[in-house]
Structure 1
Amino acid sequence: MSDPMLSASSPAEPGPSHRDLTAATTSAPAPVAAKVPTERTHHGDTFTDDYEWLRAKDNPDVLAHLRAENEYSQAVTAHQQPLRDAIFSEIKARTEETDLSVPSRKRGWWYFTRSAEGQQYTVQCRVPAATTGDDVADWTPPAIEPGQPIDGEEILLDGNAEAEGQPFFSLGGMAISEDGHLLAYAVDNAGDERFTLRVKDLRTGELLPDTVDNVFYGLAFSPDAERIYYTVVDDSWRPYQVKVHTLGTAASDDVVLYEEADPGMWTGFELSPDRTELLIQVGNSEYAETHSLDLTDAAARPRLLISREARLLHGMDPLTLRGTRHYLITHNHTPGGDAAPNNMVSLVPATELEREFSDQSWTTVLPHADDVKIEGTALTHTHLLVVLRRETTERVQILPLDGLGTAAQAEPVEPAFDEELYTAALAGADFESPVARLTYTSFLTPPRVYDYVLGTGELLLRKETPVHGYDASEYVAERDWATAADGVRIPVTIMRHRSVTADGTNPALVYGYGSYEMSMDPAFGIPRLSVLDRGVVFVIAHVRGGGELGRQWYDDGKKLRKKNTFTDFIAVTEHITRAGWAAPERIAAMGGSAGGLLMGAVANLAPQLYRAILAQVPFVDNLTSILDPDLPLSALEWEEWGNPIEDAAVYEYMKSYSPYQNIAAVPYPKIAAATSLNDTRVLYVEPAKWVQKLREVTTGTEPIVMKIEMDGGHGGASGRYEGWKDRAWDYAYVLDALEATARLSTASDVPTR
């Protein structure tokens, strides 16, 4: 259920007043689902659920009810259509529709993607790369013009052709064989994140007869291109098997290399940087286990490197250093038991991993620090790249492998950037590459692509994403701090148009997530400009449960401390009114998935604070879901929320905040839930039940609606234009509720394209 946050023409006329529109649209009758009481008993407590029957996805009555919900949502929000159209046009006009990515070099080819105006999906391409021995020339991306093919260009996969005639299209992974001849790719045409694996011969353009259904994310070829490795999910949508398919054989003959029986463990794999090992990692948010498969030996079986018995949360990168195989390990405690909650990095000879864990000798490369969270590492043949978080922001440090783990080890170097709030992320570093590819963005800076020259430290700008009609000086993004009830300081991001001041009259939208140690990092968003241009203060509440301030920040917002996430969000809302950034009666809240649970919780705890609440694919019946280990992902959630099946205290705690079970007879604000029928992470039934109960119990008169995408998954409909329409719907809903539909007179005109 974890997932990351969301990311023109003349404006619509203001039209009738907000109050007139509300009165007109709420005359349509809201759908009323039949009550079919279902009892659930745990730890002596019985809960009666009148709407559990809506879970029967194939029941014609359920589908009819969902269609009626869409019709009601359309009726209630019909007056917002001109505003949606305006926002969509603004997004479209600001976006460089015919564009391409910066080419990345891998084994003799430059790989890149193209997008074209009018097309929903990208096209995967490549061109041959020259090898002259001059690193600077050989690793300088070729100059490729948007919309213009170049000599030798090949189309690997056209997403538009793949999506033709399909209700939905998503790629779950791509892999190129070492010799560059074969492409393996996985396609989802339903939105349920169960993919079909296909293989294309890039020399002929023909598909091989090999097809494997129901694969999960992630693909890898063996070095000899004779085998493809992939993962499989079980009935509860938990990835639990790693399998290998031998080309030219039937999928029914595929071999299971690893199977994980524990329902609370997630299984995945990745290639070692030198592409000779497949690292199979099994884990949850508390600890992990790693196995290694020798890809140079077709008969090899996985061997255990670090057991779950060590209770070590870790990641590993194999490397050959000074003629000996080692593993670079990012980990949260030492074999001796010393805690490192923000992680440290150690270098370990492969032979050490054959000993008892407590007896192993590890050499510290980067020590633990209370103010720095080490997120992970990557390797080239010459350098170690470290992804870390300091002062809430993600950045990258680099140090040479020469002398690593010895007294001669060099000090890490960090590329410097000018802004206070930014994200500098590692976008890739091919093992043979003399450069590391970095992406840089901030709330005000569109994404940039840099190549960092490992040998010299030179930072080469390769591209800045063009945004038509955008002037960064018109906007302000700054860090503020709110104070929680227990005295903890909560980071707050305030974004606004430069003409907006803290005069206590502004509309504001507060966004939050706060789960799974996911951080709401600085990132540029074109759709957000349409909100700022209408005078809305866009606020991000970096609440506990996220990862912005290290592991403790996450731990303080999970399990039996989960309520901190909700009260932090409320504290941020109250702070922005005291600071003058928002009028108390003009605040909306927005969050999705686990952030949708946050929306449901604050709606119950402080409905009076919000004019409207938008909950996207909301996890609002979390206790019901986690009590059923057969439902998608439920058992995996025990490490995030606790196990209410076995632990009565966890059950009582979750029951005390579960949004669906704590709806009260109070006047709720306007509420909209957006969901998808085929979502496998948060099932549509959760918001479907939630809105029914809200309508039944609320003492207010504000409309409560649900918009359901009948062909989409967790991210909504597929295709970039459909995604823009979704964002336009979301923001129009919020802006209408806040009476902020007109653009500021000080906002620059959006170009017409």
Structure 2
Amino acid sequence: MSLIPPVAKKVPAERTHHGHTFVDDYEWLRDKDNAEVVAYLEAENAYTDEQTAALEPLREKIFQEIKSRTQETDMSVPTRMGKWWYYSRSVEGKSYTVQCRCPIAGEDDWTPPNLTPGVELAGEQILMDGNVEAEGHEFFSLGAFSISEDGTLLAYSVDIVGDERYTLRFKNLETGEMLADEIPDTAPGATWAIDHSHVFYMTVDDSWRPDTVWRHKLGTPQSQDVSVFHEPDERYWVSVGSTRSEKYLMIWVGSKVTSEGWMLESANPEGDFRVIIPRREGVEYGAEHAVIGGEDRFLILHNDVVDGVKAENFVLVEAPVSDPTNMTTLIEHSADVRLEEAEAFAGHLVLSYRREALTRVAVWPLTDDGYGERHEIDFDEELFSIGMGSNPEWAQPTIRLGFTSFITPGQVYDYYVASGELALRKSQPVLGDFDASNYEQRRDWAVADDGTRIPLSIVRRVGAPEGPAPLLLYGYGSYEASIDPSFSVARLSLLDRGVVFVVAHVRGGGEMGRHWYENGKTLTKKNTFTDFVSCAKHLIDTGVTAADRMVADGGSAGGLLMGAVANLAPELFAGILANVPFVDPLTSILDPSLPLTVIEWDEWGDPLHNKDVYDYMRSYSPYENVEAKDYPAILAITSINDTRVLYVEPAKWVAKLRATKTGDAPLLLKTEMSAGHGGVSGRYEKWKEVAFEFAWVLDTVGAN
């Protein structure tokens, strides 16, 4: 017997702000300890299972395609740290990686050992086996994985629920023994002092905000741990780390628009941290230690006002560690180049930046007199992504880089600074008959309602029939996050079936610089949604696809985008795929007690205290703007233990859509009952989840 769609009961609850009352019929779904709520979610899961049962053969086929193209027994390129090469292994049939190391051959050994998946390297030690740690648990996530500077101790943390609260443990790598020290309920991450006996970690407040840094001395009980820094302002997150030189421990405090750094000599871990530059509202900065001309200096990236103009794309300056306010400009502000990071090595700097919507890397040698000539590392592809890999050694002669594109599997290079040689260490293996020349990528531009040109990245199989093709249009557009070109083994299953994959680089992201972000947040947030609609219309108008052949895809804040365009332009899409979607933003951002709310006010605005923000968010909130009209097919996926976007948001959204919308397009909700914001854990379960989504996409666009 066919199941009927679940119908959630209505329990009207009033929410009144700024003279406006909203009646929320489904707020009762927030209580996940309520048996009736769980029963509703399970009924939706059963309905989704039944409605997609016919796709099981296609799901299994896609899963097997992903599996067959993946070299399951594999290893990462070893990275040198101290007297060891560190790397991870994956093993066929195992869901999680194994962390290993082997000794270097000598002090001048900078060439990684040969990679032979499945074959042990001489002197190999297993540091941690994720499969062993995950035994008996439905969910497993590794948080911290930090080796002491002398290579004798490991600090690592695990989450077995999905709520991003980790248990920190310690292992003696010389004996293999676990230490008695164990610290529950930590945030991910751990930083060793250079004395190898003190470690710094973070805890979170009731809203899951990392707010406190603690110092732990090995061999002492947690009750004796010392709080070395606490941030009471709920707009700020706290993090702890060290400079690349490991000379200084660093605490960073940051909101969406303001940052502040604190420093302490690592050799004096029980000393007091001191501020680098006091915070000023709207000013962001980062500092990295460098030795220039024999002096300790800070390289500081900041976006403060320079010569009367806000340096929104950041400038790079240097300053003495003893007086960080005494700045000398190294790279001036540019409207076309967004500076993102400056990393210091003993003999050179590495600059990471963004130009023309693509990432770039340049090497800047240090000389006795200061600075040599900068050199940008170039790759001959229209679309690509390049960035720094793991480079833990201060005096290493190479720079580890990662490179990829939509059609080029990930590549790992070592760049030799002295010679300029670029040595390929590994190219991601893709098994079967994969040939990169069978696929093509290109840039296109749509025009937004206000005339702004929006970049599109278009990927398809060469020789696919011209004319309206099935198409998956992905978007995000928040937090200045950039959706850079990257290769996906799983995506081949779509491309080989004739589906065109497109990324809409809408405002709110960071692809085109800081102004791209500023014009897609707070009271300009609607640009994110209308940009996406403009991109969809452009793809239809240019004949790339048709409305009945296009699915929109986005997750988390990109799920907000999905909910908004579902209301704005449902006629443009055959389907909408929304992962952990932030579709009830106003309810969440009005409640300071919810996880992450207060810090989000810099991103969305503060509707609790500002009527203009309240009215603006109310005008685009997907949940509050559901109407009695035809919507495309919708698949919403969430996780019951998600602490970032609570499961209740898509649950309420689907309940209201089911009660309100017209038409007979399928509406499905799938809730993972033992996972967090990142979904299920383990590579095989993740592949099955991707196969589930792709089968739905293919069926929706008629390409299965």
Measured in 2, the distance between the counterparts of 1:170 and 1:401 equals 40
* Structure 2 counterpart of 1:16: none
Alpha-carbon offset, residue 310 of structure 1 = 6.2
Indicate whether 1:435 and 2:406 are aligned: no
Tell me which of 460, 469, 480 is aligned to 1:496: 460
Alpha-carbon offset, residue 336 of structure 1 = 6.0
Equivalent residues of 2:180, 2:219 under 8 A apart:
yes
Tell me which of 439, 447, 453 is aligned to 2:416: 453
Tell me which of 210, 221, 244 is aligned to 2:181: 210
* Structure 1 counterpart of 2:43: 68
Equivalent residues of 2:256, 2:599 under 8 A apart:
no
SS at match of 1:297: coil
Structure 1 stretch 303-312 or stretch 532-541: which is displaced more?
303-312
Equivalent residues of 1:502, 1:579 under 8 A apart:
no
* Structure 1 counterpart of 2:381: 419
**1:249 corresponds to which letter in structure 2?**
T
* Structure 2 counterpart of 1:647: 610
Q: Which has the higher contact order (CA 8 A, sep 6+)?
A: 1
Alpha-carbon offset, residue 199 of structure 1 = 0.3
Tell me which of 1, 18, 37 is aligned to 1:43: 18
Tell me which of 86, 92, 95 is aligned to 1:111: 86
Q: What whole-Å deviation, never above 9, does each CA across 1:140-178 have from its counterpart, x for those lacking one?
A: 001131001122100000000110111111101111112
SS at match of 1:696: helix
Tell me which of 97, 101, 106 is aligned to 1:131: 106
Measured in 2, the distance between the counterparts of 1:115 and 1:29 equals 43
SS at match of 1:298: coil
Alpha-carbon offset, residue 284 of structure 1 = 1.6
Measured in 2, the distance between the counterparts of 1:301 and 1:390 equals 40
Indicate whether 1:509 and 2:509 are aligned: no
Equivalent residues of 1:502, 1:582 under 8 A apart:
no
SS at match of 2:472: strand
Measured in 1, the distance between the counterparts of 2:343 and 2:308 equals 25
Q: How does 1:316-335 map to 2 (within 5 A)?
A: 316-334=287-305
* Structure 2 counterpart of 1:97: 72
Q: What whole-Å deviation, never above 9, does each CA across 1:610-634 have from its counterpart, x for those lacking one?
A: 1110100000001111111111111
Alpha-carbon offset, residue 289 of structure 1 = 0.8
SS at match of 1:82: helix
Indicate whether 1:367 and 2:332 are aligned: yes
Indicate whether 1:726 and 2:689 are aligned: yes
Change (3 A) 1:501 1:488: farther
SS at match of 1:727: helix
SS at match of 2:323: helix
**1:495 corresponds to which letter in structure 2?**
V
Measured in 2, the distance between the counterparts of 1:152 and 1:334 equals 54
Indicate whether 1:345 and 2:313 are aligned: no
* Structure 2 counterpart of 1:20: none
SS at match of 2:601: helix
Equivalent residues of 1:642, 1:650 under 8 A apart:
yes
SS at match of 2:326: coil
Measured in 2, the distance between the counterparts of 1:365 and 1:233 equals 37
Structure 1 stretch 327-336 or stretch 195-204: which is displaced more?
327-336
Equivalent residues of 2:401, 2:412 under 8 A apart:
yes
Q: How does 1:181-580 map to 2 (within 5 A)?
A: 181-309=152-280, 311-334=282-305, 337-353=308-324, 360-402=325-367, 409-429=371-391, 430-468=393-431, 469-504=433-468, 506-580=469-543
Q: What whole-Å deviation, never above 9, does each CA across 1:164-198 have from its counterpart, x for those lacking one?
A: 11111110111111221111001000011110000
Change (3 A) 1:187 1:369: same
SS at match of 2:232: coil
Tell me which of 662, 666, 669 is aligned to 2:632: 669
Measured in 1, the distance between the counterparts of 2:478 and 2:347 equals 36
Alpha-carbon offset, residue 350 of structure 1 = 2.1
Measured in 1, the distance between the counterparts of 2:350 and 2:271 equals 30
* Structure 1 counterpart of 2:9: 34
CA RMSD, 1 decimal: 1.3
Equivalent residues of 1:599, 1:613 under 8 A apart:
yes
Measured in 2, the distance between the counterparts of 1:149 and 1:350 equals 44
Measured in 2, the distance between the counterparts of 1:583 and 1:691 equals 26
Structure 1 unpaired stretches of 5+: 1-24, 354-359, 742-753
* TM-score, normalization by structure 2: 0.98
Alpha-carbon offset, residue 366 of structure 1 = 1.5
Q: How many percent identity over aligned positions?
A: 52
**1:418 corresponds to which letter in structure 2?**
D
**2:154 corresponds to which letter in structure 1?**
L
Structure 2 unpaired stretches of 5+: none
**1:305 corresponds to which letter in structure 2?**
I
SS at match of 2:145: strand
Tell me which of 39, 43, 57 is aligned to 1:82: 57
SS at match of 2:359: strand
Measured in 2, the distance between the counterparts of 1:493 and 1:205 equals 48
**1:655 corresponds to which letter in structure 2?**
R
Indicate whether 1:626 and 2:597 are aligned: no
Measured in 1, the distance between the counterparts of 2:306 and 2:496 equals 54
Alpha-carbon offset, residue 368 of structure 1 = 1.3
Q: What whole-Å deviation, never above 9, does each CA across 1:444-495 have from its counterpart, x for those lacking one?
A: 0000000011112111100001101211111111100000111100000111
Q: What whole-Å deviation, never above 9, does each CA across 1:124-143 have from its counterpart, x for those lacking one?
A: 000011324x4xxx100011
Tell me which of 666, 672, 687 is aligned to 2:650: 687
Alpha-carbon offset, residue 573 of structure 1 = 0.4
Tell me which of 134, 140, 153 is aligned to 1:169: 140
Equivalent residues of 1:39, 1:47 under 8 A apart:
yes
Measured in 2, the distance between the counterparts of 1:403 and 1:689 equals 63
Alpha-carbon offset, residue 501 of structure 1 = 4.3
Structure 1 stretch 314-323 or stretch 719-728: which is displaced more?
314-323
Q: What whole-Å deviation, never above 9, does each CA across 1:377-424 have from its counterpart, x for those lacking one?
A: 1111111111111111112111012267x5xx3231111211110011
Measured in 2, the distance between the counterparts of 1:395 and 1:219 equals 29
**1:56 corresponds to which letter in structure 2?**
D
Measured in 1, the distance between the counterparts of 2:612 and 2:241 equals 38
SS at match of 1:397: strand
Change (3 A) 1:337 1:194: farther
Measured in 2, the distance between the counterparts of 1:611 and 1:310 equals 44
Measured in 1, the distance between the counterparts of 2:445 and 2:344 equals 36
* TM-score, normalization by structure 1: 0.92
Measured in 2, the distance between the counterparts of 1:339 and 1:653 equals 27
Q: What whole-Å deviation, never above 9, does each CA across 1:308-362 have from its counterpart, x for those lacking one?
A: 1264211110223223221100111257654211111100112323xxxxxx431
Equivalent residues of 1:501, 1:581 under 8 A apart:
no
Measured in 1, the distance between the counterparts of 2:101 and 2:660 equals 58
Structure 1 stretch 644-653 or stretch 277-286: which is displaced more?
277-286
Structure 1 stretch 327-336 or stretch 721-730: which is displaced more?
327-336
Measured in 2, the distance between the counterparts of 1:737 and 1:403 equals 63
Measured in 2, the distance between the counterparts of 1:123 and 1:548 equals 35
Q: How many residues align?
A: 702
Measured in 2, the distance between the counterparts of 1:109 and 1:498 equals 44
Measured in 1, the distance between the counterparts of 2:454 and 2:282 equals 30
Equivalent residues of 1:100, 1:146 under 8 A apart:
yes
Measured in 2, the distance between the counterparts of 1:502 and 1:144 equals 42
